[in-house]
């Protein structure tokens, strides 16, 4: 959420952002709602002042004068009560409209309405040329007996899955690897609640309900399953005033991620690419306004170094205005080469890194005490993916497959996984199951 005063004073910049992002937000309506809210509030405060005055007088008033004063107080009470109701309505309308206004944009934001307009800014490794037909991760998952989508569907429905055999070790090794690298750089490790209160979701900029909502809600409770650790970690310091010395405060957090993905059936969503549940190692930082740009670059650098160590070909893209989420001021994605995506392989989004400036902090109400001025100011928040356990394994399986149908284990993961290569199972498990049944 932006500051209404900022919107009024920087109207052009906000209008420009709305236009560039291709979203609809009516600033005239927002400002009109604010004026209505503020005028009503002023009227209410005048009545409250008078009521306070009367109440104060009564305690010292002559007994003979009291009945008249009490009557006056009663009348004022009725008036403030009516005005209060009116004000609550105006405030709700105003807040509602404020939610439609996105963050502003840096001047160098690429124009464009969707991911087609994102700008590639650099590349690591070239997609390798191989002389055999590469399989996608679904086939590999089947032949190596690593991912059981049928089982997932049986238990929880489509887009759920079981990880199995080496895939389980792969996930654990990736987690460990990502945590180790982030901790080395001063990130504080966390494991978060997988559920969060709806106001925390809202504060982080996620809609707990409504058409565009991507979240699972808990029936009869004020809780939702988190879509990312960004939600609980953002909420961790909600309504706090952090000491300036604590900033930048960097976390690396593991959580499950739950997404309803309503209406996503037609999109690039084969296999593990778009699922209802996965786990993720997320980076999150609270910074001063002065620090956020540098921490953003640092986050991206950490993400890149993870994929460099894993030796997965990738490219970094700068996200265009139309492809940014409302809270994001600036955002990079890393897209990994996925040989099984599309006809002959495509780059697929594997991480992102966003600087939300104070947009998220304002709603979460996370501030810090600025030493120089002694003032409380909103922090900046940033979030980024270290490793998404659904998509990174796709890239590993598809890039590390051999013409023998095996998958080589990336060198940096071998110590934790304890193996160098993943071999086809040749129905061994099915045989075992049959034997057990017989």
Instruction: Tell me which residues are annotated as active site.
Output: 259, 274, 349, 352, 391
Residue with tokens 């309308």: 93
The answer to whether 29 and 97 have CB atoms below 8 angstroms apart is yes
Choose, by CB under 7 A, the member of 74, 269, 305, 426 that binds RNA.
74
The answer to whether 215 and 201 have CB atoms below 8 angstroms apart is yes
For 327: left if phi > 0, alpha if psi spans -120 to 50, otherwise beta; the answer is: alpha
Choose, by CB under 7 A, the member of 30, 33, 54, 105 that binds RNA.
54
Written in H, E and C, the secondary structure of 112-139 is: CCCHHHCEEEEEECCCCCCCCCCCCHHH
Please say which residue, 87 or 300, places its beta carbon nearer to RNA: 87
Nearest-approach distance from CB 233 to RNA, in angstroms: 18
Choose, by CB under 7 A, the member of 77, 270, 318, 414 that binds RNA.
77
CB atoms near residue 267 (< 10 Å): 10
Q: Which residues within the stretch 382-411 sit at the binding site for RNA (CB under 7 A)?
A: none
Piece of the chain touching RNA by CB under 7 A; list 47-55, 132-140, 203-211, 399-407: 47-55
Orientation of helix 27-60 relative to helix 66-98, angle to 10°: 160
Please say which residue, 42 or 131, places its beta carbon nearer to RNA: 42
Rounded Cα–Cα distance for residues 9 and 279 (Å): 42
Choose, by CB under 7 A, the member of 53, 95, 426, 434 that binds RNA.
53
Choose, by CB under 7 A, the member of 15, 52, 189, 426 that binds RNA.
52
Show Cβ contacts of residue 267 under 8 Å, excluding neighbours closer than 6 positions. Answer: 274
76 binds RNA (CB under 7 A): yes
Orientation of helix 166-184 relative to helix 391-399, angle to 10°: 110
55 binds RNA (CB under 7 A): yes
Please say which residue, 89 or 342, places its beta carbon nearer to RNA: 89
Please say which residue, 79 or 309, places its beta carbon nearer to RNA: 79
The site string for RNA over 21-40 (x = CB under 7 A, - otherwise) reads -----------------x--
241 binds RNA (CB under 7 A): yes
Please say which residue, 49 or 183, places its beta carbon nearer to RNA: 49
CA 192 to chain CA mean position, Å: 14
Rounded Cα–Cα distance for residues 178 and 229 (Å): 15
**SS3 call for 257:** strand
Nearest-approach distance from CB 367 to RNA, in angstroms: 7
Piece of the chain touching RNA by CB under 7 A; list 41-49, 112-120, 155-163, 257-265: 41-49
Footprint of RNA (CB under 7 A): 5, 38, 41-42, 44-46, 48-49, 51-56, 58-59, 69-70, 73-74, 76-77, 88, 241, 367, 375-376
């Amino acid at each position: 959420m932006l500051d209404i005063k900022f919107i009024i004073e920087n109207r052009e910049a906000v209008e420009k952002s709305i236009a560039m992002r291709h979203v609809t937000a009516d600033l005239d309506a927002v400002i009109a709602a604010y004026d209505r809210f503020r005028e009503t509030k002023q009227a209410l405060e005048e009545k409250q002042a008078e009521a306070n005055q009367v109440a104060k007088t009564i305690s010292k008033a002559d007994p003979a004068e009291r009945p008249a004063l009490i009557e006056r107080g009663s009348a004022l009470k009725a008036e403030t009560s009516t005005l209060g109701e009116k004000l609550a309505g105006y405030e709700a309308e105003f807040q509602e409209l404020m939610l439609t206004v996105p963050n502003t944009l840096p001047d160098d934001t690429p124009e464009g309405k969707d991911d087609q307009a994102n700008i590639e800014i650099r590349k690591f490794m070239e997609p390798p040329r191989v002389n055999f037909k590469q399989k996608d991760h679904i086939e590999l998952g089947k032949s190596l007996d690593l991912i059981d989508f049928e089982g997932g569907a049986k238990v929880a429905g489509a887009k759920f899955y079981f990880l199995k055999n080496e895939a389980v070790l792969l996930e654990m090794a990736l987690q460990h690897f990502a945590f180790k690298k982030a901790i080395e750089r001063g990130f504080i490790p966390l494991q978060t609640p997988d559920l969060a209160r709806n106001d925390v979701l809202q504060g982080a900029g996620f809609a707990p309900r409504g058409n565009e909502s991507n979240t699972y809600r808990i029936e009869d409770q004020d809780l939702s399953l988190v879509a990312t650790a960004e939600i609980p970690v953002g909420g961790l310091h909600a309504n706090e005033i952090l000491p300036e010395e604590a900033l930048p405060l960097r976390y690396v957090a593991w959580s499950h991620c739950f997404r309803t993905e309503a209406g996503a059936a037609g999109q690039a969503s084969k296999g593990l690419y778009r699922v209802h549940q996965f786990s993720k190692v997320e980076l999150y930082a609270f910074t001063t306004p002065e620090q956020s740009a540098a921490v953003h670059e640092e986050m991206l650098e950490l993400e890149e170094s993870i994929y460099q160590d894993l030796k997965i070909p990738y490219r970094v893209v700068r996200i265009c205005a139309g492809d940014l989420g409302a809270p994001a001021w600036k955002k990079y994605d890393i897209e990994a080469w996925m040989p099984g995506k599309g006809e002959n392989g495509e780059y697929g989004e594997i991480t992102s890194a966003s600087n939300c400036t104070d947009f998220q902090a304002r709603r979460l109400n996370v501030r810090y005490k600025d030493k120089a001025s002694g003032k409380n100011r909103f922090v900046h928040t940033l979030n980024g993916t270290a490793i998404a356990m659904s998509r990174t394994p796709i890239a590993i399986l598809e890039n590390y497959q051999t013409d023998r149908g095996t998958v080589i284990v990336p060198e940096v993961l071998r110590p934790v996984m304890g193996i160098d290569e993943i071999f086809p199972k040749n129905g061994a498990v099915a045989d075992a199951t049959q034997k057990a049944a017989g």
